[in-house]
Amino acid sequence: MATGRETASGSALQRASAQIVAVGAYVPPRVMTNDELAQIVDTSDEWIYSHTGIKARHVAADDVAASDLAVEAARRALDEARINPADVDLVLLATSTPDYPGLPATASIVQDHLGAERAGAMDLVAACSGFVYGLATASAFVDSGQAATVLVVGAEVYSTIINWADRNTCVLFGDGAGAAVVRRGTGGGIRDSVLHSVGSGAASLCRPAGGSREPCNVATDPDRTKLQMDGRQVYGFAVQAIIDTVEELLRRNGLSIADLDHVVAHQANVRIIDAACRRAGYPVEKFFKNIREYANTSAASIPIALSEMQTRGLLRPGHLVVTVGFGSGLAYGGNLIEWT
Ligand code: UT7
C-alpha cells in the first residue's frame, strides 16, 4: 500500500502538507546492562554485543505501564511544539504492550492523562512498524483536513511480555516511548508513506496465547503468553524489508540514496542494518543507530531515534529522512520526510 501521491518525479515534494513539528522521547531510568542479564540467563556481553550491537536497555518499574511512558514522551513533544494538549485532535498510540489486553485503548488513557480533552484516541497495532504506520495515518488525517493536530506516540513495555528465561529473545528488547506532533504546514513534511504486510509470516514473531485464537485458561503454559520469535526467519525478512522500503520510496519520488540525509530504520539489530547496506550498496553512515543504549524498543525505536537526532542537532530543515519499520505481522513500511 502506498499512502502518498503517485506523482511524476519530484512533484510530490511540492504538495504534501502534514509536518512533524516536534518530537520527544522518554525512557524509564533503570538501565539493565548485558552483564546484569548474564546473571539471570545463559548469555554474555560479548555474545549480545557481537550479534546485535546492544550494550544495555532501559527497563520500566513494575508499576509502570505503556501509557505512563507515552504520556511523558507526548508531554515533551507537545512542550517542544508549544502546543496545548487541549488543541490535539487525535491521539494515535502505536503499541504491542497496551495497558489492558484489547480494551480500553491505551490511547484513551494517554488522552485523559494529557488533558487532551477534545481529542479522539485509538491504538494502532503494527508492532515494530507501528510508528511508521502512525505517521502515515496522521499524515492522511491532516492532509484530508480531518484533523489539524495529531499526536503520534510509540510506547512499549516489552519487559512485561518477554520470557526472561529465553536467551533467544530476552536480550533483545527494552522499554521506552517516543512521540511526534503532526500538523498542517507548507514547505516540507511527510511527503510519502508506503505500508506493507507479509501475513504468511505472522507466526514467526508472536505471543501465541492470550487472544481469541488461544484464550488463556488454567491449563495455559505461561510461556505461550510471552513473545516468541524465529530469529533467523525474521532476520532475513528484516534485511529485505529495509531495502524494499527504501527503494520504493526513492523510486516513487524520483530520488536516489545520495539525495537522502538520514535513514532511520527500526533499531532491532545493527547487523540487520549493516547487511541491508552491504546488499544494496547503501552508505552505512546515512543510517542512524542508537540500539547500543536502548535495545529494541519496538514501536518506540524510531521516535526515540528521531528525538535523539533532533537533540544532537543532526536533523536540519530541508533534510530528507526516510524511516523504515519492520517486525511482527510481518508488517513493514516507511515514510519519506522533508524535515522542517
Ligand atoms: O523487532 C522485531 C524484529 N526482530 C528482529 O529483527 C530480530 C531478527 N533476528 C536477529 O536479529 C537475530 O537472528 C538474533 C539476534 C535473534 C540471533 O542472532 P543469530 O546470529 O541469528 O543467532 P542464531 O539464532 O543463529 O544462534 C546462534 C547461536 C545458537 O547456538 P547454537 O544452536 O549454534 O549452539 C543460539 O542458541 O547463538 C545461541 N544464542 C545465544 N548465545 C548466547 C542465541 N541467543 C543467545 C544469547 N546468548 N542471548
Is the CB–ligand 1 distance for residue 272 below 6 Å?
yes
What distance in Å separates the CA atoms of residue 245 and residue 254, rounded to the nearest whole number?
A: 14
Query: Which regions in the chain score pLDDT beneath 70?
Result: 2-16
Segment (H or E) for 302: helix 301-311
Q: Are residues 198 and 169 in the same domain?
A: no
CA distances from 78 to 113, 178, 249, 308, 311 (A): 13, 12, 29, 16, 15
**pLDDT attached to residue 288:** 98
> Final residue of a domain: which of 170, 186, 202?
186
Segment (H or E) for 122: strand 120-124
Q: Is residue 239 part of a domain?
A: yes
3-state class (DSSP) for residue 270: helix
**pLDDT attached to residue 28:** 98
**pLDDT attached to residue 254:** 98
Determine the atom of ligand 1 nearest the C-alpha atom of 271.
11
- Check: CB of residue 333 under 8 Å from CB of residue 131: no
User: Rg (Cα) of the chain, in Å, rounded?
Assistant: 19
**pLDDT attached to residue 7:** 40
Q: Is residue 201 part of a domain?
A: yes
Is the CB–ligand 1 distance for residue 55 below 6 Å?
no
User: Catalytic: which of 163, 253, 269, 296?
Assistant: 296
- Check: CB of residue 154 under 8 Å from CB of residue 94: yes
Q: Which three cell numbers stand for residue 311?
A: 537533540
Q: Are residues 202 and 315 in the same domain?
A: yes
**pLDDT attached to residue 186:** 86
At 247-274, the pLDDT tens digits run 999 999 999 999 999 999 999 999 999 9
Is the CB–ligand 1 distance for residue 327 below 6 Å?
yes
Centre of ligand 1 to C-alpha 270, Å, is 13
What distance in Å separates the CA atoms of residue 95 and residue 86, rounded to the nearest whole number?
A: 23
Centre of ligand 1 to C-alpha 25, Å, is 28
For residue 251, the enclosing domain spans 191-338
Q: Which three cell numbers stand for residue 304?
A: 526515540
Q: Are residues 159 and 85 in the same domain?
A: yes
Is the CB–ligand 1 distance for residue 111 below 6 Å?
no
In the residue annotation, 58 being an active-site residue is answered as: no
Nearest CA to ligand 1 atom 28: 168
Centre of ligand 1 to C-alpha 150, Å, is 38
CA distances from 225 to 34, 231, 317 (A): 24, 18, 44
Q: Is the peptide bond before 104 cis (omega within 30 degrees of 0)?
A: yes
**pLDDT attached to residue 4:** 57
Helices 45-52 + 270-280 axis angle, to 10: 30
3-state class (DSSP) for residue 152: strand
pTM above 0.85, yes or no: yes
Strand partners for 146? none
At 88-111, the pLDDT tens digits run 999 999 999 999 999 999 999 999
Q: Is residue 2 part of a domain?
A: no
Q: In the sheet that 18-26 helps form, which strands lie side by side, from edge to edge?
A: 18-26, 175-184, 149-157, 90-94, 120-124
- Check: CB of residue 253 under 8 Å from CB of residue 10: yes
Is the CB–ligand 1 distance for residue 128 below 6 Å?
yes
What distance in Å separates the CA atoms of residue 179 and residue 304, rounded to the nearest whole number?
A: 8
Q: Is residue 298 part of a domain?
A: yes
Q: Which three cell numbers stand for residue 170?
A: 530476552
In this structure, how many other beta carbons lie within 10 angstroms of the beta carbon of residue 290?
16
Q: Is residue 105 part of a domain?
A: yes
Number of domains making up the chain: 2
3-state class (DSSP) for residue 165: coil
CATH number for position 302: 3.40.47.10
In the residue annotation, 296 being an active-site residue is answered as: yes
